[in-house]
Chain A
Amino acid sequence: MRVRVVAGGAGRRRPPLPVAGLAWLAAAAAALPPTYIVVRAAAGGVEALAGALLRPGNLALLGRSLALAAGVLVIALAIALPAAWLVARTDLPGRRLWAVLAALPLVFPSYVAAFAFVSVLGPRGALQGWLEPLGVGSLPAVAYGYSGACLVLGLFIYPYLYLLLVAALRGLNTAVEESSRSLGAGPWRTFIAVVLPRLRPALASGSLLVVLYTLSDFGAVSIVRFNTFTVAIYNAYSGLFDRTSAAGLAAVLMLLAFAAVRLEAAAAGRLRLDGGRTPRPASPVELGRWKWPALIGLATLAAANLALPLGLILFWAVRGRAAGLPLGSAWGAAANSLTAAAAAAVVALLLALAVAWWKERYPGPWATVVERLARAGYALPGLVIALALVFFAARWARPIYQSLTLLVAAYVIRFLPEALAAARAALAAVPPRLEEAARTLGRRPLQVLREVTLPLMRRGLLAGLGLVFLTSMKELPATLILRPIGFDTLATRVWGYAAEGIYSRAAVPALLLVAVSALPVYLLVIAPALRPRAAANRR
């Protein structure tokens, strides 16, 4: 008998009011940027819009954006999957440490990462400088162009995938894998035939995040000089001051994003439930002599995406001190960053929880539309989201315009999809049958949510909190436009100095950014993910 996934309430009933209310709030917020885009694009008239969109240059740029997204996805998967598996399932020495290190690159803003990459690995960068005595006049320009963009973005945003995969791997019912092994399938075959399919939700959500983020990125691609569609949008603003065509281009990006979201929904398949049977935690796979290549691989990874940018920042600091320049302090900015990012993380997760629970437990066309709308906005550059909020708030919400509240709202809108991905993956670990059981035992739907669903979603929810916190900490374009005057964040500080070449003073805020971000990442994301599933479910 095919058991329908819907549960927790009879068929077509609506979700409890608080949940529906939060979900609608999320939908309204997520609808602001697309509404803005449509209004702006339409304002210029259809002809102007068509002209802007159909310029052959723009189509080529679109192609480049897509090619970049594909390349980055390949690299991100190639890094995230093995790293997650090594950390979550094997007896790799020092896996707690590696687990944190593998997630940390997310703390670096993409433009800092790109800058570090180019400075060190550029044709006449630092590495070339060290090799010059050996006769190396210039290095191949791998750090620029398509290869540079793929590498930089792949190396620094794979943690989206990685974090979701680690959470998923720890939560899988391993009985199936054990039976596969006992039936004679080797570890590889077991992995491909048994484990991989059950990672589909995490793989799909994470891949979507990687693709959409790549489409939206501007900071990194401009530094490595790889022109993409986003560059076309920025050029429309900065070269031509043409908001109409910029909005039109942004609309194209959104359509792309919708298509990607649709693809992801198909790829994720129906939520794979592990059934209500509580599984035994997995025994770690023994690596044997494979641990050496694994360790070397992880060390190289950390060298590329941690040591490199950190080294550059420290170099700035040291060089500045040696020249007697003041390094300055950034504690105020740090406090600001923390406040805004923490608030954004909590709000985003609340909304994401409501939307995800509604969609999974009370499915229907509305729930799907809300969820897709919320996720498609991830492809929009921060600037566009900021302008959307300016458009609405300056006219109709003056009291909160340029206030911290609006800034947090911008972060929430921008990063809601990350929280949604995490909430969805977390919900996949809670079979509806458990909620039904609780209902038969006398609990109302909200009580069930509180006593059964949330505790079991804890690991995934914490991952979502960590993700939104991290990305909010380093957000730049929307912050510059929407922050209260005088409200500096670490990201704006770094930008302010680095843009002027005053690297010595950019060093301290950059280091603080990394330090302040790293600790919550460990607490929220890595530590829970590393405890055995059973232990993690209870205290």
Chain B
Amino acid sequence: MLHHESPPAAPAGVPTGARLLVASVAMLVALLTPACRPAAEQAAAPLPQVVVYSGRSESLAGPLFERLEESLGMQIMVRYGGTAELAATLMEEGEATPAHVFLSQDAAALGALARADLLAALPAAVLARVAPEFRSPDGEWVGLSGRARCVVYNTERVRREDLPASLEQLIEPRYRGRFGIAPTNGSFQAHLAVYYTIAGRAALEELLSGLEANEPGRYPKNSAIVEAVIAGEIDFGLVNHYYLLRALVENPDAPAANYFMPSGPVSSFVNLSGVGVLRSTPESLALVEALLAESAQSYFAEETFEYPLSAGLAPAAGLPPLGDLRARQLPFDEVATRLEETLELIAASGLLG
């Protein structure tokens, strides 16, 4: 009599080795199927494609890219991330990068990529659209939009003529406890790094200790400063120019205005976001040109309230023209080298505490 003994039952529901193996193999096969391959390499899409690495966030740049997709008739595939991380990625990818265009939040990243010989030279026609101080001297990248440092103040609590005329005046006793800064914010730090480059280390140390002694309100971000000014917690604060304009969209009656300090070596440093080309194709160059064209530039002016850097275009109403700002533009590489020391000095001054 044949009697087959059943094997000892493994507890039901347990992923036994074999089942686990089969499940994983199936999953790996599924992952490798075409549906999951990088979209950029799928079977020939009918539209021409451009791959963009964007250090500007999706909420900011997304709508612009959608607009451009339609007007240019091409497929724009965007990878959103942090500017520094994307720049590092591009440097690792080197020649093998799938990206055509890099949209950077600041100039330092573009400078680094240019130094690594990763950026293609832009055609003269493109370069001509932007003033020389807002593009790379070697023609490898151009600025798209600018962010200027300025003061936002509460119009009911302080008069324009009483505001400090320059950075150095912030340490005057009459302003004690009346203003706010965001010492951990990148723009604030970059501004001070530029100050260091122009005025020297000693001047920066003096400025920082004076600032700290003047008991400024410390806020985590620029938007918080604007909220505080509107609420009347502080009289004024150091921010980037567009924050107030964005806040006014939601709150048109807020008693606040922008003020650009008229004197001092670099009271209104303009940090720019820009674009560089990694792989020169007709599509990528078309995209860059489109970003400098009126439609995209007015997007920057009207939607994000930044300064359009393409020559001849005016910023949003209420902003002084770029040329009027006390802003010396420096080679951004130099600024970058000062940044670490600046951070240390800021930390040492106690402003972060």
Contact = CB atoms under 8 A, between A and B. Distances in A.
Q: Do A's and B's CB atoms come within 8 Å in the complex?
A: yes
Interface of A: 18, 57, 118, 141, 145, 225, 227, 234-235, 237-241, 243, 246, 323, 342-343, 346-347, 349-350, 383, 386-387, 390-391, 394-395, 398-405, 408, 446, 449-451, 454-455, 458, 461, 477, 480-481, 483-486, 492, 496-497, 499-502, 505, 537-539
Instruction: Indicate the member of A227, A323, A450 with the most B CB atoms within 10 Å.
Output: A450
A446 B17 contact: yes
Contact of B87 (A225, A241, A401): A241
Contacts of B28: 343, 347, 405
B11 interface: yes
A234 B87 CA distance: 12
Contact of A454 (B14, B57, B250): B14
Contacts, number: 162
Given A404-B36, A405-B36, A454-B17, A394 B97 contact: yes
A9 B13 CA distance: 28
Contacts of A502: 59
Contact of A383 (B32, B78, B85): B85
Contacts of A539: 11-14
A391 B92 contact: yes
Given A141-B353, A497-B59, A502-B59, A390 B84 contact: no
A350 B21 contact: yes
Interface string B30-52: 01100011111100000000010
Contacts of A239: 108, 336, 339-340, 343
A450 B96 contact: no
B267 to A, nearest CB: 23
B91 interface: yes
B27 interface: yes
B210 interface: no
A163 B295 CA distance: 55
A240 B31 contact: no
Contacts of B115: 241
Interface in B52-95: 57-60, 77-89, 91-94
Contacts of B79: 480, 483, 485
A501 B336 contact: no
Contacts of B89: 386-387, 390, 481
B352 A240 contact: no
Contact of A480 (B16, B85, B340, B352): B85
Given A350-B21, A499-B57, A401 B98 contact: yes
A87 to B, nearest CB: 23
Interface string B1-29: 00000011011111111101101100110
The 7 lowest CB-CB distance pairs between A and B, nearest first, are: A238-B84, A241-B112, A539-B11, A480-B81, A404-B36, A394-B96, A450-B17
A26 B27 CA distance: 17
A235 B340 contact: yes
Nearest to B81: A480
B324 interface: no
B176 interface: no
B223 interface: yes
Nearest to A350: B24
The main secondary structure of chain A at its interface with chain B is: helix
Nearest to B228: A124
B344 interface: yes
A537 B11 contact: yes
A480 B38 contact: no
A57 B347 CA distance: 12
B14 A118 contact: no
A405 B60 CA distance: 29
B60 A346 contact: no
A405 B59 contact: no
A399 B37 contact: yes
Residue of B38, B81, B98 with highest tally of chain A CB at under 10 A: B38
A496 B37 contact: no
Given A398-B96, A405-B28, A446-B17, A241 B88 contact: yes
A450 B18 contact: yes
A387 B81 CA distance: 14
A32 to B, nearest CB: 13
A70 B222 CA distance: 34
B85 A405 contact: no
B27 A390 contact: no
Contact of A485 (B14, B16, B51, B83): B51
Contacts of A342: 27
B32 A400 contact: yes
Contacts of B39: 484-486
A348 to B, nearest CB: 10
B82 A480 contact: yes
Nearest to B189: A239
A455 B311 CA distance: 71
Contacts of B32: 400, 403, 405
Contacts of A395: 94, 96
7 contacts: A241-B112, A347-B24, A386-B85, A402-B38, A402-B40, A450-B17, A454-B14
Nearest to A388: B92
Contact of A118 (B15, B38, B78, B220): B220
B129 interface: no
A287 to B, nearest CB: 32
A394 B12 CA distance: 43
B221 interface: yes
A111 B153 CA distance: 32
B109 interface: yes
A225 B17 contact: no
B112 to A, nearest CB: 3
B155 interface: no
B184 interface: yes
Given A454-B14, A486-B39, A404 B31 contact: yes
Best-buried of A57, A238, A446, A505 by chain B (most CB within 10 Å): A238
Interface in B311-353: 336-337, 339-340, 343-344, 347, 352-353
